[in-house]
């Protein structure tokens, strides 16, 4: 059993236990979505840092016809008439593009020219128009009547994450009746058709779609990457934004209608017509919107161009889509970093070394995740980084505490000349604490506790010397241990009495610390009362004398320092506070109102201590008295026990 306990307390076991607990804490926190914002921000950061596609061929596959504020001003109205749009489409068809995408709603005719527009839309199968499904907030928008029930329609609904940033693209939506294609997918398929590429089911999973010989579009799941419970309806994929915002060649509406373009710019390309005028409010935030540039939004037509370009790039050049780990791999990844953090805590104790190492590890961790992202793998960074840091932070103080315990043997040799507690302080702060090879004297606020046995003289007269010494040592060892457990420092043993200080040798700098010392002293006294009763029961069974105890406690200013010679130093406290505590312990019962009758252990405190107890204990005022050597009276209170509410909490 002891061997098992030692194993459980070993540094390695504690490190593993802490790492596992931190792992469950982080994964639990992550499952609530509390880390999603940070993880998505990291994704945006990686997007901005990723190298951009500099292939002019892939960029020139798409040409944008933009309608700016100046174009609207030149036309003299908005929305544009059907005749203007018909003229644009007719002009473009002359230049023989592979596909034309009109990202302007035409569910309601805008005469004049409506019949002419319907005719152009009907006669040209490479023209794609848009519709909108809508949602709970926005209503849907149907396609032009000329394209109803045809495969020349694409929905232009865009998925916007919390925070207003677009990171995903839809290519299919199923309303329960039909499967609809996205605007970007329709245009990409028209272009790829002439390359001999059509959508095919993936060989390993027929539910997944393949475009090209090697590229499979894996559908986005609600918990992919850093997402938690995201809307994964339809068929979605993560956008990589490898093209810069100003990648795609653009022609203004005015220049197109005036004939100021070369036919080669449009021939065999995908031409997308859309609005870039700020007054139309067709703009979106992307991962680039987190940087410091002024142009933080992109137009809807540019966003659709990014979607089309990624579909073409992956299909024709064999580029891959962004992949994510399954849940089990993500959990394993976080657990591994949590364990690494625990092992780090085993080795590093110095704060500055820990800070340096933490910075280095986080940077190294970020580099691993970033280079994985360059290979199109989105690996969790935030939860694994937090797991590493927390494990290291939790394990480090435990190991420091363990080292202190392991150093106890060495300190015990040192404490033969001074108390162990003072030896600890001298060891930790020997440069600042010592003066002339002894502790500096200082005036501090502390709580002093005195104990004494009732009727010890009669007990000592009835026992043999050795038996008496054994009996007394049992008592002293028990009470001294309680003082240590409650944060006190044994000051002195005097016959059957004991003096302890709470709040030394390090000075207390706040009322909260002073109050805690007073509470610790009273708790220690109550523990002594309980232990005294247990000792009496055991002694009675052994036919040994039983006895009672008196305890006096007082809080106030006191001088702490060393007394003695160079050969034998004693660290002690002197002053009025110690004197009052001693007087309270020895106070005559005849001067007090001790009703109800006192128990076998009498605990008396002064009014100064009572003020620091914060009503945590049941007390009875037993009177006011003038203590020997003092002219003014002090209030005396007896400790009955802890408040019932505190006992129930235990």
Provide the pLDDT for residue 447.
Answer: 94
pLDDT, one tens digit per residue, over 491-509 is 888 778 899 989 887 778 8
When pLDDT is averaged across residues 585-590 and rounded to a whole number, the result is 77
Answer yes or no: are the C-beta atoms of 165 and 289 closer than 8 Å: yes
Confidence of residue 421 (pLDDT cuts 50, 70, 90): low
Beta strands in 42-86 (DSSP E): 62-67
The alpha carbon of residue 573 and the mean position of all alpha carbons in its chain are separated, in whole angstroms, by 45
Report the candidate in 374, 376, 371 with the shortest Cα–Cα distance to residue 320. Answer: 376
With b for 16 or more beta-carbon neighbours within 10 A and e for fewer, the 15-42 pattern comes to: bbebbeebbeebbeebeeeebbeebbbb
* d(C-alpha 425, C-alpha 439), whole Å: 9
Mean pLDDT of 295-322: 89
Cα–Cα distance measured from residue 162 to residue 583, given in angstroms and rounded to the nearest whole number: 69
Lowest pLDDT segment from 105-109, 432-436, 457-461, 462-466? 432-436
CATH architecture of 441-649: 2-Layer Sandwich (3.30)
Highest mean pLDDT among 61-65, 208-212, 392-396: 61-65
pLDDT mean over 559-568: 68
Q: What is the pLDDT of residue 64?
A: 95
Question: Mean pLDDT across the chain, nearest whole number?
Answer: 84
Average pLDDT over residues 181-192: 96
What is the average pLDDT across 291-303?
Answer: 79
Cβ neighbours, 10 Å, residue 572: 21
* pLDDT tens-digit readout, 121-161: 999 999 999 999 877 677 889 999 999 989 999 999 999 99
Sort 566 into a burial class: Cβ within 10 Å, 0-12 / 13-18 / 19+: exposed
Q: What is the dihedral of CA 603, 606, 611, 616, to 10 degrees?
A: 10
Closest CA to 500 of 508, 491, 512: 491
Distance CA 509, CA 557 (A): 13
Residue 226 has a CB neighbour count (10 Å cut-off) of 25
Q: Please report which confidence band the pLDDT of residue 574 belongs to, taking 50, 70 and 90 as the band edges.
A: confident
Alpha-carbon span 185 to 236, nearest angstrom? 11
Element (H, E) at 432: helix 430-433
More confident of the two residues 393 and 169: 169
Alpha-carbon gap, residue 55 to 404, rounded angstroms? 63
Residue 619 has pLDDT above 80, yes or no: yes
**Mean pLDDT, residues 561-571:** 64
CA 384: distance to chain centroid?
Answer: 11
Ordered DSSP codes for 358-386: HHHHHHHHHHHHHHHHHTTEE---HHHHH
- Characterize the bridge pairing of strands 179-181 and 168-174: antiparallel
Highest mean pLDDT among 28-42, 46-60, 432-446: 28-42
Q: Which of 422-436, 551-565, 594-608, 635-649 has the lowest mean pLDDT?
A: 422-436
Per-residue pLDDT band for 458 (boundaries 50, 70, 90) equals confident
Distance between CA atoms of residues 636 and 624, nearest Å: 6
Element (H, E) at 434: none
Q: What is the pLDDT of residues 214-273, one digit of tens each?
A: 788 999 999 999 999 999 999 999 999 988 766 789 999 999 999 888 888 999 999 999
For 161-178, write each residue's pLDDT tens digit.
Answer: 988 999 999 999 987 778
Residue 350's Cα: distance from chain center in Å?
23
Length of the chain: 650
* CA 389/CA 394 separation, integer angstroms: 9
- The two structure tokens encoding residue 321: 């889509």
Residue 422: pLDDT band (50, 70, 90) is low
């Amino acid at each position: 059993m002891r061997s098992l306990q030692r194993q459980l307390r070993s540094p390695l076991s504690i490190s593993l236990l802490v790492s596992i607990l931190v792992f469950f804490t982080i994964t639990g926190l992550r499952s609530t979505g509390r880390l999603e914002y940070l993880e998505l921000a990291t994704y945006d950061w990686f997007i901005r840092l990723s190298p951009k596609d500099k292939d002019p061929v892939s960029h020139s596959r798409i040409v944008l016809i933009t309608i700016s504020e100046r174009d609207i001003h030149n036309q003299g109205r908005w929305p544009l008439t059907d005749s203007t749009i018909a003229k644009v489409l007719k002009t473009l068809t002359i230049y023989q593009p592979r596909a034309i995408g009109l990202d302007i709603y035409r569910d309601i005719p805008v005469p004049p020219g409506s019949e002419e527009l319907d005719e152009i839309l009907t006669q040209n199968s490479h023209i794609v128009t848009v519709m909108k499904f809508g949602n709970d907030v926005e209503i849907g928008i149907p396609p032009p009547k000329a394209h109803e029930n045809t495969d020349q329609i694409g929905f232009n609904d865009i998925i916007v994450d919390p925070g207003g940033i677009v990171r995903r693209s839809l290519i299919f939506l199923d309303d329960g009746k039909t499967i609809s294609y996205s605007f970007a997918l329709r245009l990409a398929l028209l272009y790829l058709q002439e390359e001999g590429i059509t959508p095919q089911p993936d060989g390993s999973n027929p539910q997944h779609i393949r475009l090209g010989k090697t590229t499979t579009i894996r559908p986005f799941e609600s918990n992919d990457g850093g997402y938690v419970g995201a809307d994964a309806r339809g068929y979605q994929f993560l956008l990589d934004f490898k093209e810069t915002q100003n990648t795609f060649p653009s022609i203004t509406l005015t220049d197109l209608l005036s004939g100021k373009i070369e036919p080669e710019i449009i021939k065999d390309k995908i031409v997308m017509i859309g609005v870039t005028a700020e007054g139309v409010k067709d703009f979106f935030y992307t991962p680039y919107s987190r940087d410091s540039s002024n142009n933080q939004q992109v137009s809807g037509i540019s966003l659709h161009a990014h979607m089309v370009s990624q579909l073409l790039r992956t299909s024709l050049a064999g580029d891959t889509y962004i992949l994510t780990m399954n849940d089990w791999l993500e959990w394993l990844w976080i657990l591994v970093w949590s364990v690494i953090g625990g092992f780090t805590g085993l080795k590093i104790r110095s704060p500055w070394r820990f800070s340096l190492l933490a910075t280095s590890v986080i940077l190294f961790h970020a580099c691993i995740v970033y280079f994985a992202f360059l290979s199109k793998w989105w690996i969790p960074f935030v939860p694994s980084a937090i797991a590493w840091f927390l494990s290291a932070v939790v394990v480090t103080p435990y190991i420091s505490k363990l080292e202190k315990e392991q150093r106890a043997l060495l300190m015990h040799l040192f404490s033969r000349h001074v108390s162990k507690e003072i030896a600890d302080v001298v060891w930790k702060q020997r440069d600042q604490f010592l003066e002339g090879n002894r502790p500096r004297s200082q005036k501090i606020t502390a709580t002093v506790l005195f104990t004494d046995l009732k009727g010890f003289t009669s007990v000592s007269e009835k026992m043999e010397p050795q038996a008496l010494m054994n009996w007394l040592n049992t008592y002293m060892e028990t009470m001294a241990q309680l003082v240590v457990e409650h944060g006190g420092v044994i000051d002195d043993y005097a016959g059957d009495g004991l003096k302890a200080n709470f709040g030394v040798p390090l000075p207390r700098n706040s009322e909260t610390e002073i109050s805690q010392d007073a509470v610790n002293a009273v708790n220690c006294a109550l523990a002594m009362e309980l232990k005294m009763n247990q000792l009496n029961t055991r002694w009675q069974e052994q036919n040994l004398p039983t006895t009672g105890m008196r305890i006096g406690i007082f809080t106030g200013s006191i001088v702490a320092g060393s007394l003695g010679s160079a050969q034998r130093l004693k660290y002690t406290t002197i002053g009025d506070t110690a004197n009052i505590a001693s007087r309270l312990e020895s106070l005559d019962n005849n001067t007090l109102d001790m009703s109800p009758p006192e128990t076998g252990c009498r605990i008396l405190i002064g009014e100064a201590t009572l003020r620091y107890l914060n009503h945590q204990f049941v007390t009875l005022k037993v009177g006011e008295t003038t203590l020997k050597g003092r002219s003014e009276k002090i209030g005396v209170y007896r400790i009955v026990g802890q408040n019932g509410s505190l006992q129930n909490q235990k």
